[in-house]
């Protein structure tokens, strides 16, 4: 059974364009994942397909009306054997991170509600949404980009999506640390050489060097991540060595 992602959006072409390229396209073609879209305009009852109105109480902007969104969600068929979870993308949501991937991937069918204008009628959020998520402390024009970010991050951790299963395991944040630096041919360019240890063939030394770089990068760039970890004596020695070198 493929993992299913459904996106409720006024601009399905944004989702479809991303679905049809790269790793995500290949995952869809091999039926590892399924990405489809639903346009709330198709559930509007007005002749012009209107899905927004002015906010009660006044104020700037428009609000997506509850009716079309509610009917779109109600008409969304899900296999009874599947577990489903409705996500609303909003700046008020919890910040999406790697630990969220593990919890959300327990669901067979994830439904993303993309707000536009000033957002959606709060009654939809209170009665039809299971969780709210944000991709950062800033505002973007709509929920489509955050939805794509989450779908990409969720999909790449699934079996058979990436070329190598180790790719997602070695990603930044999987171990709680930032990723180590990567190099490829040529061995030297513009006077800058690849670290000799990576060409030594000594897998133990390479693993130690990579761990050292991950620890050091995390200390310099995201020190709060190290505070959440319990470092081994070897990790502490590697970190100290990194700081001495830098």
Q: Among residues 41, 71, 84, 156, which one is catalytic? A: 156
HSE-up of 100 (CA within 13 Å, CB side)? Answer: 17
Q: Among residues 34, 108, 132, 171, which one is catalytic? A: 171
Q: Are residues 110 and 203 in the same domain?
A: no
Q: Among residues 34, 53, 108, 118, which one is catalytic? A: 118
Q: How far is CA 75 from CA 9, 37, 101, 242, in A?
A: 15, 13, 27, 56
> Last residue of a domain, which of 110, 136, 165?
165
Q: Are residues 127 and 234 in the same domain?
A: no
**The pLDDT of residue 127:** 96
Q: Assess whether 186 carries a catalytic annotation.
A: no
Domain count, the chain: 2
* Of 172, 184, 178, the residue nearest 220 (C-alpha): 178
**The pLDDT of residue 164:** 59
pTM equals 0.87
* Of 71, 72, 66, the residue nearest 51 (C-alpha): 66
| pLDDT 10s digits, 109-132 | 999 999 999 999 999 999 999 999
Q: Are residues 192 and 158 in the same domain?
A: no
**The pLDDT of residue 168:** 53
CATH number at residue 191: 1.10.1270.20
**Mean pLDDT score across all residues of the chain:** 93
Q: Are residues 103 and 127 in the same domain?
A: yes
Q: Are residues 176 and 71 in the same domain?
A: no
- Alpha-carbon 72 to chain mean position: 24
Q: Assess whether 53 carries a catalytic annotation.
A: no
What burial letters (b/e) apply to 125-151, b meaning 16+ CB within 10 Å?
A: beebbeeebbbeeeeeebbbebbbebb
Q: Are residues 210 and 113 in the same domain?
A: no
Q: Among residues 41, 71, 91, 170, which one is catalytic? A: 91
Average pLDDT over residues 155-166: 81
CATH number at residue 101: 3.40.1280.10
- Residue 81 above 90 pLDDT? no
Band (77; pLDDT cuts 50, 70, 90): confident
Q: Assess whether 118 carries a catalytic annotation.
A: yes
> How many residues does the structure list for the chain?
246
> Last residue of a domain, which of 143, 165, 187?
165
- Determine the Cα–Cα distance for residues 246 and 235; give it in Å rounded to an integer: 16
Q: Are residues 161 and 207 in the same domain?
A: no
Q: Are residues 212 and 175 in the same domain?
A: yes
Q: Are residues 73 and 87 in the same domain?
A: yes
| Joined tokens for residue 114 | 């993309």
Answer yes or no: are the C-beta atoms of 212 and 242 closer than 8 Å. Answer: yes
Band (171; pLDDT cuts 50, 70, 90): low
> Last residue of a domain, which of 165, 187, 220?
165
Instruction: Tell me the residue range of the domain where 109 lies.
Output: 3-165
Q: Are residues 161 and 174 in the same domain?
A: no
Q: Assess whether 211 carries a catalytic annotation.
A: no
| Joined tokens for residue 98 | 């790697």
Q: Are residues 72 and 117 in the same domain?
A: yes
Band (143; pLDDT cuts 50, 70, 90): very high
């Amino acid at each position: 059974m493929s993992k299913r992602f459904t996106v409720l959006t006024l601009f399905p072409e944004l989702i479809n364009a991303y679905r049809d390229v790269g790793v995500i396209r290949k995952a869809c073609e091999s039926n590892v994942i399924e990405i489809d879209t639903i346009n709330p305009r198709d559930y509007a009852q007005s002749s012009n397909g209107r899905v927004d109105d002015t906010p009660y109480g006044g104020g700037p902007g428009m609000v997506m009306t509850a009716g079309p969104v509610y009917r779109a969600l109600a008409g969304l068929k899900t296999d009874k054997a599947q577990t489903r979870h409705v996500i609303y993308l909003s700046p008020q949501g919890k910040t999406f991170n790697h630990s969220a991937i593990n919890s959300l991937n327990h669901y067979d069918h994830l439904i993303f509600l993309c707000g536009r204008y000033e957002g959606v009628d709060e009654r939809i959020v209170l009665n039809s949404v299971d969780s709210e998520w944000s991709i950062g402390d800033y505002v973007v024009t709509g929920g489509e980009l955050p939805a794509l970010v989450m779908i990409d991050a969720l999909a790449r951790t699934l079996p058979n999506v990436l070329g190598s299963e180790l790719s997602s395991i070695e990603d930044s944040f999987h171990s709680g640390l930032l990723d180590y630096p990567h190099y490829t041919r040529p061995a030297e360019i513009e006077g800058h050489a690849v670290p000799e240890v990576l060409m030594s063939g000594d897998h133990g030394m390479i693993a130690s060097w990579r761990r050292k770089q991950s620890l050091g990068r995390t200390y310099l760039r995201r020190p709060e991540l190290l505070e959440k970890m319990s470092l081994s004596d070897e990790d502490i020695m590697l970190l100290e060595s990194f700081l001495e070198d830098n």
